Amino acid sequence: MTVPENYRIIETFVEPGSNVLDLGCGNGDLLAYLVDRRKIKPTGIEISMAGVLSCVSKGLMVYQGDIDEGLKDYSDNYFDFVCLNSTLEYVHNASLVLKEMVRVGRKAIISITNYSSLSGRLRFLFRGKLFGNQLLNGNSGDSPIFSIISFEDFKEFCNLNGYKIEGEIHTKSLPGFLLTLYPTLLSEQAIFLFSKESS
């Protein structure tokens, strides 16, 4: 299996042997990868039975339920790391979930798809099309998208809540130097490591 680039980036953020929660862990591939590479203690929250079954077959601890509901049971700093990977779009109340991630985790890791990339901006400018059409969701069989959040939106949110962004790595589809110059325009996805300022 080829390892997705975001898995490798998340791996660099996660300390060996740590207690990791993955929100919307799907079939458990990321957690299993981190168990293999970082010997983490894995926990997942997943809504689909197919995902839960896959996690159980990998020996991962998983809680079937909504992300919003699943987090309230954990005490502050219960986990070393809380991941939200390729899931932010599907969260109903993104602000609440981000705040809960920072509360129950010493550190939080989020991957954000870049909806404000150059191509996205051009599509909106010339064709007037947003990313995905909310009215067509449900016909396609995809999960409906609730939260479209740009890198700048996320940074503003962290700033206002006093969260510290400790790491920011972009997945590379272009030569590195271009990406470094214009990350918000050119990257496909960024992974952020953030936490409560005090920690």
Partner 1 sequence: MKSNSVGIVKTELLHVPGPFMFDNGETISELDIAYEKYGRLSPERDNVILIAHALSGDAHVAGFHSSIEKKPGWWDNMIGPGKSFDTNRYFVICANVLGGCRGSTGPASINPLTGMPYALDFPLVTIKDMVNAQKILLDHLRVNKLLSVVGGSMGGMQVLQWAISYPEMVSSIIPIASALRHSAQQIAFNEVGRRAIMADPNWKGGHYYTDNPPNDGLAVARMIGHITYLSEDLMQIKFGRQDRGNREKLFKPSFEVEHYLDYQGESFVQRFDANSYLYITNALDDFNLNVELARTPRLELFNKIRCLVISFTSDWLYPSAQSKEIVRQLRGKGFEVTYCEVDSNHGHDAFLTDIETQTALITNFLAQCRQ
Q: By the criterion CB under 8 A, which residues form the site for partner 1?
A: 49, 52-53, 55-65, 73
Shortest distance, CB of residue 100 to partner 1, whole angstroms?
16
Distance of alpha carbon 120 from its chain centroid, rounded? 20
How many C-beta neighbours within 10 Å does residue 47 have? Answer: 17
In the complex with partner 1, the residue whose CB is nearer, 52 or 193, is 52
Going through the chain in order, the beta strands assigned E by DSSP cover: 19-23, 41-46, 61-64, 79-84, 105-113, 163-170, 189-196
Shortest distance, CB of residue 134 to partner 1, whole angstroms?
26
In the complex with partner 1, the residue whose CB is nearer, 28 or 120, is 28
In the complex with partner 1, the residue whose CB is nearer, 7 or 74, is 74
Choose among 25, 21, 72: nearest CA to 48.
25
In the complex with partner 1, the residue whose CB is nearer, 37 or 58, is 58
